[in-house]
Structure 1
Amino acid sequence: MYSVLRCAPAARLSSGRLSSSKFHLASVCQESALKYSSTDIPVMPPCSFQPAEYQGMSKERLMEIRRRNCNPVTMKVTYYQRPVFIHQGFMQWLWDVDGRRYLDLFAGVATVSVGHCHPKVTAAAEQQLKTLWHTTNIYVHPGLQEYCEKLASHLPDPLKVIYLTNSGSEANDLAMLMARLHTGNYDIITFRGSYHGGSPQAIGLTSNVAYKYPIANGLGCTNTMCPDVFRGPWGGSHCRDSPVQTIRECTCTPGRCEANDHYIAQLKETFQTSVPSRIAAFFTEPIQGVGGAVQYPKNYLKEAYKLVRERGGVCIADEVQTGFGRTGSHFWGFQGHDVLPDVVTMAKGIGNGFPMGAVVTTPEIAASLSKGVHFTTFGGNPVACAIASSVLDAIREDDTQRTSQEVGTYLMTELAKLRDKYDIIGDVRGKGLQIGVEMVKDKASREPLPPEGVAEIFEDVKDMGVLMGKGGLYGQTFRIKPPMCITMEDADFFLAVFNRSVHNYLERR
């Protein structure tokens, strides 16, 4: 029925991951995904897992309830013109209520770290649910202490003191509070285009009009220019720590990044014009997530941290999307910048989708919270700790950090070939499985591809069986952040789908 170019079969482990000997599956492919013609229909890799048959409400009834009983903002954020009705998941796969299978390249917004319903994590949750569902940290239940020790072992000294929360927004709220208490200062600086949560305090850190309401919130937060070497005023072809660089020409002398110098000058101007002489904190993601996998010049954070500390501030790394090995080269995104923050916040992948977050800091900064009483009912509850502990085990046993590095690098390298092929693909960037593909009208202008164009490609990719995300200031960047169990075979399937979708869009112009 279909004309198909297929890769050689891959050996699989029981977890659904490729064995280490099969990581270079692309080398045995008969054809590169880049060479798919307009008549080829990509075929999804096989999966032996059989989902349960959906026997719930009709799609029409579900949407009726969503419109009537759910806050209307949920309709505003529903992906796709024809919504996907998800029923079940396993590892990198999702099934809708009609039994159709999708390759999940967004992982519930970079949240499902080791795989949907990962057997080890599921077993840990089931066992804990039979033992103790809930108690609070006013009691010493073993799971919290055991998990905090395990998590601390993954962080460098002196980042060893942990407070467990329910979400990334709560973790970032708490980090703001601790920074202000510890320094005695108030003002906090973040990047334009950043996203650090939607709570009343965290929304001040967030710098994107889509998330802003016309009310006072997050007082004392100031945004500085994001050192975006693709869309920003300065950038070159050697700026970022990524296997793929921008297409912008670079005129820098060896050993010097002029773009970095210009962006640091902008930060210095912010210090001179927009905040007091003493500040509380500098809050950044190692790679912007919602902002569209934006990366900074290689030495930017190192220089920025020095300037912040000279002004009495602490440096906070938001690892909600970059943590737990997703960037491939390191367990934490900040390590790729060769910096040591004073506070690290995390969530999402920490619990593989179970609601959980954490703030990790030094003993000195942690002590500032003892000036009052801070309490959370659900943070660090027994089920959350059991799940999070099993996630750390699965990351190690499944070698998901290596998967992120190898499959992610392959994906970006192949996507760069598509960038060179199509004028509307302006930039490919990222590290590991934190990838952004920025769509433009054309490379010369770098103007964002209009929303309707992005939506056409987005919908087409979904209709061929792949789910990915969107981000960026103008919603122009496709976000590829799959569960870290994705295989090379899956990567080739996506590349074929994306190639065809872009081709289809241009054919319709």
Structure 2
Amino acid sequence: MTSEPDRDTVDGNDDVVGRYDDYVMPIWKSLNVPVKRASNCTVEDYEGNEYLDVFSGISVTNVGHNNEAVVEAAKAQLDEFVHGCSYVHPSEQVARLGERLAEITPGDLQKSFFCNSGTEAVEGAIKLARKYTGSKEVLALEMAFHGRTLGSLALTGNKAYKSEMAPTINDVAHVAPPYAYRCQMCSGGPCSCACADDLERVIGTHTSGDLAAVVVEPVMGEGGIIVPPNGWLERVKEITHDHGGLLIVDEVQTGYGRTGEMFATEHFDVVPDILPQAKGIANGMPLGAFTASAEVADAFEAGDHLSTFGGNPVACAAALATIDELEDGIVENAREQGAWLSERLADLEAEFDVVGDTRGLGLMQGVELVDPDGDTGPMGVAPEPAPKVAKQVGNRLKESGIIIGVGGYHKNVMRFQPPLTISRDQLSRAVDSLHDALAEVET
């Protein structure tokens, strides 16, 4: 008689993947590296293979996998209590984290609502904007990503995420993104911020004049690491306020040192009205937040918005430790290593025809791959995107022991978003491996 397998043991990578296939609903598994343990910038699978991680769980483990200070802070809180529901029982960790966010977020942002994820933070920010303004309509960017629940999906400007899942918020319109490489308005020439000015046209033609908010990412992550030109965010805020709306800047992916500043809006000297955040906030513990000025935040009355697990004290303890770690030289490292990485990636753009564009801020950098011999790509400018080549390059890097993101609206962008603790030697190894992979696909 054949004995049943031991559910408490795992027999290699295939066993883990097989159990996913049998018992977990379909998810994104393009990297397909089952992780047994991780430390700083390295992950290890169930067969002892080690990988340099330059994607950090989609820009989450900003202070390194298994950061000792963060782990110890979470363990210490576990010994005290795990759950008291922060919206029923006040706790020290939640109060302290709210105070810290008031200190580190831009401008006069002061009061925070804690939730569990970036998606929830964006949805809560929309509710707050509607309550404060008394208006309902929301504008977002084409190619943007703000989450996958039905409300946040309405803001997301990508058909691939919406297929057969029509969102429930109907009062949403979209405006062109600041995608200089494939600009619809500048035709590849010098950027004029015309896409920001086009917000006026969209408000006039696609809304009823009942604007609650405009939602943007300061650097578009899932869209392909798209960095807006100087003046763009400032102009968007000006137009938004002219029409009575609030500017919501989604820093879920860009926050907590990712771009070389604590928050990406600091590069553009713009203070949002509401700032959703998550991912790097607690280095992998489930936590999100949205922060607003006292005036805007006080539009919420008790009970207007609640979250059973939001502000979990263990996650908040991890977040406090994460912020301390970031301020102890890690944000500075992201700035310095990001500047070096940007130069190295620009060298690849100059060397390889298949590299159409490189761009980014800090340790949020993208390499857009194209077919130099193909037709003109979408929007009538720049070569055709090369998603198949990007997938090949990603697989080649994985074979070399490098985990990198492959994404973008056209699925043709290699995404460098490593832990912000990464060393120059580790980055150099990743870029050298990318160079070799590009050389292989271009021959």
1:440 to 370, 375, 384: 370
Q: Distance in 2 between matches of 1:145 and 1:404?
A: 28
Paired residues of 2:56 and 2:419 also in contact (CA < 8 A): yes
The alpha-carbon deviation at position 218 of structure 1 amounts to 2.6
Secondary structure of the residue that 2:383 maps to in structure 1?
coil
Paired residues of 1:292 and 1:470 also in contact (CA < 8 A): no
Query: Could you report, residue by residue, the CA deviation over 1:68-109 in whole angstroms, capped at 9, with x for unpaired residues?
Result: 2111x32xx2114xx322111000111111111111110000
Code of the residue aligned with 1:402 in structure 2: it is: E
Query: Could you report, residue by residue, the CA deviation over 1:471-501 in whole angstroms, capped at 9, with x for unpaired residues?
Result: 2111011111011000110111011100000
1:304 equivalent in alignment to 2:255: no
Where does 1:138-153 land on structure 2 (aligned, <5 Å)? Answer: 138-153=88-103
1:489 to 404, 422, 425: 425
1:387 equivalent in alignment to 2:318: yes
Q: Distance in 1 between matches of 2:142 and 2:106?
A: 29
Consecutive unaligned residues of structure 1, counting only runs of 5 or more, are 1-53, 237-247, 251-256
Code of the residue aligned with 1:206 in structure 2: it is: T
Where does 1:40-79 land on structure 2 (aligned, <5 Å)? Answer: 56-71=10-25, 73-74=26-27, 77-79=28-30
Quickly say closer, same or farther: Cα 1:167–1:476, change in 2 above 3 A.
same
Q: Distance in 1 between matches of 2:302 and 2:201?
A: 34
1:358 equivalent in alignment to 2:358: no
Runs of 4+ in 1 over 4 A off after TM superposition: none
Query: Could you report, residue by residue, the CA deviation over 1:427-458 in whole angstroms, capped at 9, with x for unpaired residues?
Result: 11011001111111129943344332221111
Q: How many residues align structurally?
A: 428
The alpha-carbon deviation at position 335 of structure 1 amounts to 1.5
The alpha-carbon deviation at position 134 of structure 1 amounts to 1.2
1:333 equivalent in alignment to 2:264: yes
Quickly say closer, same or farther: Cα 1:150–1:267, change in 2 above 3 A.
same
Q: Distance in 1 between matches of 2:275 and 2:388?
A: 37
Q: Distance in 1 between matches of 2:68 and 2:419?
A: 14
Paired residues of 1:190 and 1:205 also in contact (CA < 8 A): yes
Tell me what 1:278 maps to.
210
Tell me what 2:342 maps to.
412
Q: Distance in 1 between matches of 2:303 and 2:313?
A: 25
Tell me what 1:95 maps to.
44
Query: Could you report, residue by residue, the CA deviation over 1:211-246 in whole angstroms, capped at 9, with x for unpaired residues?
Result: 10333423211110112111123459xxxxxxxxxx
Tell me what 1:455 maps to.
391
Secondary structure of the residue that 2:215 maps to in structure 1?
strand
2:77 to 104, 128, 136: 128
Q: Distance in 1 between matches of 2:167 and 2:63?
A: 39
Tell me what 1:498 maps to.
434
Quickly say closer, same or farther: Cα 1:117–1:448, change in 2 above 3 A.
farther
Q: Distance in 1 between matches of 2:196 and 2:288?
A: 31
Query: Could you report, residue by residue, the CA deviation over 1:368-393 in whole angstroms, capped at 9, with x for unpaired residues?
Result: 22075322111111101110000011
1:155 equivalent in alignment to 2:109: no
Percent of matched pairs sharing the same residue: 29
Code of the residue aligned with 1:108 in structure 2: it is: G
1:177 equivalent in alignment to 2:107: no
Paired residues of 2:153 and 2:167 also in contact (CA < 8 A): no
Quickly say closer, same or farther: Cα 1:367–1:105, change in 2 above 3 A.
same
Q: Distance in 2 between matches of 1:146 and 1:300?
A: 34
Q: Distance in 2 between matches of 1:371 and 1:382?
A: 20
Query: Could you report, residue by residue, the CA deviation over 1:90-145 in whole angstroms, capped at 9, with x for unpaired residues?
Result: 00111111111111110000011100001111111111111111111211221111
* Two-structure CA RMSD over aligned residues (Å): 1.7
Q: Distance in 1 between matches of 2:40 and 2:169?
A: 37
The alpha-carbon deviation at position 155 of structure 1 amounts to 2.0
Q: Distance in 2 between matches of 1:418 and 1:477?
A: 14
Q: Distance in 1 between matches of 2:46 and 2:14?
A: 12
Paired residues of 2:356 and 2:383 also in contact (CA < 8 A): no
Consecutive unaligned residues of structure 2, counting only runs of 5 or more, are 1-7, 377-381
Secondary structure of the residue that 1:266 maps to in structure 2?
helix
1:230 to 181, 186, 189: 181
Quickly say closer, same or farther: Cα 1:490–1:403, change in 2 above 3 A.
same
1:477 equivalent in alignment to 2:413: yes
Paired residues of 2:225 and 2:360 also in contact (CA < 8 A): yes
Q: Distance in 2 between matches of 1:170 and 1:208?
A: 19
Code of the residue aligned with 1:369 in structure 2: it is: F
Tell me what 2:66 maps to.
117
Quickly say closer, same or farther: Cα 1:267–1:503, change in 2 above 3 A.
same
The alpha-carbon deviation at position 61 of structure 1 amounts to 2.7
Q: Distance in 1 between matches of 2:120 and 2:11?
A: 34
Paired residues of 2:197 and 2:235 also in contact (CA < 8 A): no
Code of the residue aligned with 2:20 in structure 1: it is: R
Tell me what 2:246 maps to.
314
Paired residues of 1:460 and 1:501 also in contact (CA < 8 A): yes
